[in-house]
Amino acid sequence: MRNHLIIFMTALILLILQLIQAQPVQNPIIWADVPDPAVIRVGDTYYMSSTTMHMSPGLPIMKSKDLVNWEMVGYAYDRLVENDAMNLENGKSAYGRGSWASCLRYHDGNYYATTFSATSGRTHIYTTKDIEKGKWNVSSFEPSLHDHTLFFDDDGRVYMIYGAGKLTLVELLPDLSGTKPGGINKVIIENVNLLFGEDEVGGLNGEGSQLIKVNGKYYLLNIASPRSRWSRSVLIHRADKITGPWEGRVALEDKGVAQGCLIDTPEGKWYAMLFQDNGAVGRSPWLISVKWEDNWPVLGADGKASETVDINDNIKGLANIVASDEFDRQPGEPLPLAWQWNHNPDNRFWSIGGRKGFLRLTTGRVDNDVLSARNILTQRTFGPVSSANIKMDVANMKDGDCAGLIALQRRYGFVGVKMEGENKSIVMVNVPPDQSGEHGRPPKPSPPEEVESIPLEQSIVYFKIDCDFRDRADKAYFYYSLNGETWLKIGSVLQMSYTMPHFMGYRFGLFNFATKTAGGLVDFDYYHVSDKINE
């Protein structure tokens, strides 16, 4: 009897400890830039695709067992397309473009990740039988179908719904190689935004389509906003036939939480995975509870997007979505999945293992500024606070070179080393707020300013950037160190701002560019990321 009592009490204590440690999930479930979520469930595993636009590799794929804790498993493509914009050549760039909102599907043993691109002018199809480890097969067709949703119907026919404001249903060939000649191609909703009322048409046109079929009915989700206020909202239409007629309603207008999809659990619970504009850190995923009433999905509670989710969570951190890196791999080994290049990299001018234990960035051409430079290696910033620091060897820089650590967006800030003649200096550079436009014209971007410069007499130097996203503070602080232990603040505080055309949350980035002569190089010893900053 005594032994049974001990076993019972031990089990009870363990249960109490688990309940104490487990906390209700707080939104956003990922405090980082993971916009345009598309989620599927295969068995008891969820997969999510997202948007990273001009980054390479792109179309990230994440995995979860609980809809809350996500880890990276790969990317659908390594390089979206080879052209001047994606390669940062001939004065062109794909900032804010590249590939946009994706759709994720599982059908007859195959996984499909689809997206579209104004940069390529095409709709892109990626397929694999193993979403976690398999190779993706690539195809594409014209035209570029904006914000489409892919749908395999029960009768074997395949469709996409696409558009902004006016939504069109188009039938595809069975192998998804293009639109089907003579197949269905019709406007199914003339103006999504009419759900706000005729006087409110003219805001963000309804886009971001995601289609699902439940109990024989079709449900189409879109994001839109009314004319009188920039309030991102979820609109839902339903129909008994995919061709319509469709009836709709405004499903959620709260906190700007919108665009995404419906997903069910193995136990039969329903959620909506959406996103919210979250200041300079980017667009962050929110998980919203869903219940069904009169064959309509009802999002949130009393019309509100709850800041907590009815799922207990005792796992902390962002898994491998962000990652420190010692650069201690062998040549040819892949980068951790947290890394993405700003545009397509030029693989001739970077290496890991060329110098054992280092990432080497070599300048391959002359550029005017850091936003034009190729081979900037980036990771997401994250909230509520995040910090990145690096150790760098600058012994082999050339006159006119500049290298270091950047908080990357159109209004960027960086701390690094600049070489002029035979002299090196530590510099902090940032881009001030936009200049006021004259005579009612839009504001003009301000040029970057070198805020502070300090002579450098050694080859090894350390840099750090702290980002504070609490309460939308959106401030970045810059530091340098000569010994890796004592950090000194440099320059000014960068007031980060989520600006167009970059259309992306801030990223930490490692860079090296030349303004006079190509061929200089820098070696990065490590990249360390932390969820703590100097207070």
Q: Is the pLDDT of residue 307 over 60?
A: yes
Q: Is the pLDDT of residue 3 over 60?
A: no
- Per the structure block, which two tokens stand in for 394? 């600058």
- Give the mean model confidence (pLDDT) for residues 134-153: 97
What pLDDT, in 10s, does the model give residues 150-196?
A: 999 999 999 999 999 999 999 999 999 999 999 999 999 999 999 99
DSSP 396-440: T--TTEEEEEEEESSS-EEEEEEEETTEEEEEEEE-PSPBPPGGG
Domain extents in the chain: 340-530
The pLDDT of residue 24 is: 81
Q: Is 281 helix (H, G, I), strand (E, B) or coil?
A: helix
- Per the structure block, which two tokens stand in for 471? 């309460």
Q: What is the pTM assigned to this prediction? A: 0.94
The pLDDT of residue 17 is: 41
The Cα 229–Cα 234 span in angstroms is: 14
Residue bearing the bigger pLDDT, 441 or 223: 223
The Cα 158–Cα 114 span in angstroms is: 13
Q: Residue 126: which of 134, 118, 172 has the closest Cα? A: 134
Q: Which of 46-55, 257-266, 322-331, 430-439 has the lowest mean pLDDT?
A: 430-439
The pLDDT of residue 437 is: 64
- Cβ atoms of 12 and 298 within 8 Å: the answer is no
What pLDDT, in 10s, does the model give residues 524-533?
A: 999 999 999 9
> pLDDT-derived band of residue 15, with 50, 70 and 90 as boundaries?
very low
- Give the mean model confidence (pLDDT) for residues 263-282: 97
- Per the structure block, which two tokens stand in for 459? 């080859």
In degrees, to the nearest 5, what angle opens at C-alpha 122 toward C-alphas 130 and 59? 40
The pLDDT of residue 9 is: 52
The pLDDT of residue 317 is: 82
The pLDDT of residue 18 is: 47
The pLDDT of residue 2 is: 52
Q: Is the pLDDT of residue 308 over 50?
A: yes
What pLDDT, in 10s, does the model give residues 381-438?
A: 999 999 999 999 999 999 999 999 999 999 999 999 999 999 999 999 999 988 876 6
Q: What is each CA distance from 213 to 242, 265, 390, in whole angstroms?
A: 9, 15, 49
Share of the chain above pLDDT 90, in %: 89
E-strand spans in 197-282?
A: 207-214, 217-224, 233-239, 247-252, 258-264, 270-277
Query: Which CATH number among 2.120.10.30, 3.30.70.3270, 3.50.50.60, 2.60.120.200 corresponds to the domain 340-530?
Result: 2.60.120.200
- What mean pLDDT, rounded, does the chain reach? 94
The pLDDT of residue 16 is: 45
Residue bearing the bigger pLDDT, 298 or 315: 298
The pLDDT of residue 529 is: 98
- Give the mean model confidence (pLDDT) for residues 297-306: 95
- Give the mean model confidence (pLDDT) for residues 350-369: 96
Residue bearing the bigger pLDDT, 8 or 256: 256
Q: Is the pLDDT of residue 47 over 70?
A: yes
Q: Is 511 helix (H, G, I), strand (E, B) or coil?
A: strand
Strand 359-362 relative to strand 521-530, pairing:
antiparallel
CB environment 490-512: b (16+ within 10 A), e (fewer): bbbbbebebbeebbbbbbbbbbb
- Give the mean model confidence (pLDDT) for residues 30-54: 98
Cis peptide before 245 (omega within 30 of 0): yes
- Give the mean model confidence (pLDDT) for residues 22-42: 93
Q: What is each CA distance from 68 to 30, 51, 291, in whole angstroms?
A: 8, 18, 19
- Per the structure block, which two tokens stand in for 434? 């936009």
In degrees, to the nearest 5, what angle opens at C-alpha 359 toward C-alphas 357 and 364? 145
The pLDDT of residue 438 is: 65
- Give the mean model confidence (pLDDT) for residues 479-485: 97
Largest CA distance in the chain: 88
